[in-house]
Amino acid sequence: MSIIEDVREIIASHGKLPVDVATLADDADLYAAGLSSFASVQLMLALEERFDIEFPETMLNRKTFASIGAISSAVAELAPQERVA
Amino acid sequence: MDMQSSLLDRLLAAGLLIDTGIDGLYGRSGAFEDVIARFEKLIDVHAPADARPEVIRFPPGMNRTHFEGSGYMKSFPQLAGTVHSFCGCELDHANLLQCIAEGGDWTEGQKATDVVLTPAACYPLYPVIAKRGPLPEGGGLFDLQSYCFRHEPSKDPARMQLFRMREFVRMGTPDQVTEFREDWMERGQALISAVGLDVELDTANDPFFGRAGKMMGNSQREQKLKFELLIPVTSSAKKTACLSFNYHQDHFGTTWGLTTHDGATAHTACVGFGLERIALALFARHGLETADWPADVRKALWG
């Protein structure tokens, strides 16, 4: 499974979005789609657990979690190489 | 001696604050209270004349169910104070007395009551207003003041554990509440300038707990949801937030089912005045003897 598919699945289960994640493009604005501050925190924690990563403080901002594509890039940057492969 | 302990020491020596043996828990003298009372009157003078807020005074404790519903424990578990009481039988009481006599931890058997110490003056308000039903067409405006508790013992006199917060809270459409906040950012600066204090307006974030909190704080800053008026109190380099202007978006509206007259989820905003911090800033700037304060400051406060 690719990172982006994993990310979509985690958003579906932790993002508490009022819309179906499948209808969102990779670059769609998740905040505009209804992602709340609290849900973005839960999403962040779920991503860390699934990919065994820790977001550094510099990445703990809205931009990192703004879209499925942005989240996937951040995860790819932080995930151990063998897991990305 | 650092600046913080020196201001605290001077306030204690002058009798303006009275030591209780606990950092951040002080008695206040008549002179200190007079400054707070006069400043509160000045807030009224600077408030919009035609606004007519509903005045409500809650005690410094709130309904525990409302506290739980507010989500405060998600964000600030380290600051909350809960009220516990003895709920045992006579035997439990005898054991309690023995434990105290032996210097043991007698608080272990204390049970949580239905009361939690109020963390911010506006927290008890939202569920109470939501229970009334939809807001009237013009939205809602409320005038609050309460002692608030935050568990953060410190030698910094500007960081008390029990302090008073005066607040105006606006509820309504996004336009109504953001207009209210903009208006008070102007009024707040004029108010503080009127008592001879330097002000600086800056974006800010609340001290959310942990790494998740870091993200909440960054998000709050990026969206400019919180502004603070910073005033020198213990240090002119590291200023203290004495007023804050907060836009909660639909957070409390969603949490409590608070709606506008036409059924939309209400947005809320508040302006909060840290009354002790403002008094401390005045004493730090103008001296510990109010009779010696500059004439224009005395005129603004005492007329």
pLDDT in tens, B3-15: 555 899 999 999 9
| Å between B72 CA and nearest CA of chain A | 12
Per-residue DSSP letter, B265: B
Average pLDDT over residues B226-255: 93
Instruction: List, for residues B127-151, the tens digit of each pLDDT value.
Output: 999 999 999 999 999 999 999 999 9
Q: Which residues, numbered 42 to 71 in chain B, qualify as contacts with chain A under a Cβ-Cβ cut-off of 8 Å?
A: 71
Chain B residues touching residue A32 (CB < 8 angstroms): none
Greater pLDDT, B189 or B74: B189
pLDDT of residue B3: 52
**Which of B75, B76, B211, B255 has the highest number of chain A CBs within 10 A, making it the mutation to test binding with A?**
B211
pLDDT of residue B1: 46
Termini Cα distance of chain B = 37
| Å between A74 CA and nearest CA of chain B | 15
| Å between A24 CA and nearest CA of chain B | 22
Banded pLDDT at B70 (limits 50, 70, 90): very high
Buried (b) or exposed (e) across B5-23, using 16+ Cβ within 10 A?
eebbebbeeeebbeeeeeb
Contact B74 A62 (CB under 8 A): no
**Which of A36, A38, A41, A62 has the highest number of chain B CBs within 10 A, making it the mutation to test binding with B?**
A41
Backbone angles phi, psi at B209, to 5 degrees: -80, 135
pLDDT of residue B74: 87
The token pair that represents B131 in the structure block: 């229970």
What is the full DSSP assignment across B65-78? Answer: HHHHHTTHHHH-TT
Q: Does A20 touch chain B (CB under 8 A)?
A: no
Tell me which fold the domain B3-81+119-302 belongs to.
Answer: BirA Bifunctional Protein; domain 2 (3.30.930)
What percent of chain B clears pLDDT 70, i.e. is strictly above it?
98
- B222: nearest CA in chain A? A62
Compute the distance between CA of residue B69 and CA of residue B266 in angstroms, rounded to an integer: 17
| Residue type at B291 in one-letter notation | A
Q: Scanning the structure block, which residue is given the tokens 């995930």?
A: A79
Compute the distance between CA of residue B233 and CA of residue A70 in angstroms, rounded to an integer: 42
Angle formed by the axes of helices A3-14 and A68-78, nearest 10°: 120
| Å between A45 CA and nearest CA of chain B | 8
Task: Say which of B74, B214, B222 has its CB closest to residue A62.
Answer: B222
Strand B200-203, strand B162-172: pairing: unpaired
Tell me which fold the domain A3-84 belongs to.
Answer: 1.10.1200
pLDDT of residue A1: 64
pLDDT of residue B216: 87
pLDDT surpassing 90 at residue B56: yes
Average pLDDT over residues B226-243: 92
Q: Helices (DSSP H) in chain B: which residue ranges? A: 3-13, 30-46, 64-69, 72-75, 90-101, 125-131, 174-194, 210-222, 251-256, 275-286, 295-302
The token pair that represents A75 in the structure block: 């995860």
pLDDT of residue A36: 86
Please, are residues B70 and B76 in contact by the beta-carbon 8 Å criterion? Answer: no
Compute the distance between CA of residue B113 and CA of residue B127 in angstroms, rounded to an integer: 19
What percent of chain B clears pLDDT 90, i.e. is strictly above it?
87
Q: Scanning the structure block, which residue is given the tokens 């008070």?
A: B184
Q: Scanning the structure block, which residue is given the tokens 């974030």?
A: B205
ipTM over 0.85: no
Q: Does A84 touch chain B (CB under 8 A)?
A: no
Instruction: List, for residues A27-41, the tens digit of each pLDDT value.
Output: 999 999 999 888 888
Q: Please count the residue pairs, one from chain A and one from chain B, whose beta carbons lie less than 8 angstroms apart.
A: 31
- B254: nearest CA in chain A? A36
Grouped pLDDT means (10 residues each) for chain A, 85 residues: 90 92 94 88 92 92 93 91 51
Helix, coil or strand: residue B3: helix
Greater pLDDT, B118 or B71: B118
Compute the distance between CA of residue B73 and CA of residue B79 in angstroms, rounded to an integer: 9
Residues forming CATH 3.30.930.10 domain(s) in chain B: 3-81+119-302
Average pLDDT over residues B71-86: 94
pLDDT of residue B258: 98
pLDDT of residue B131: 97
Compute the distance between CA of residue B197 and CA of residue B40 in angstroms, rounded to an integer: 16
Backbone angles phi, psi at A16, to 5 degrees: 50, 40
What value does the mean pLDDT of chain B take?
A: 95
Q: Does B203 touch chain A (CB under 8 A)?
A: no
pLDDT of residue B5: 53
Strand B140-149, strand B54-56: pairing: parallel
Backbone angles phi, psi at B147, to 5 degrees: -65, 140
Our CA dihedral for B183, B185, B186, B189, rounded to 10 degrees, sits at 150
Contact A44 B222 (CB under 8 A): no
Q: Does B220 touch chain A (CB under 8 A)?
A: yes
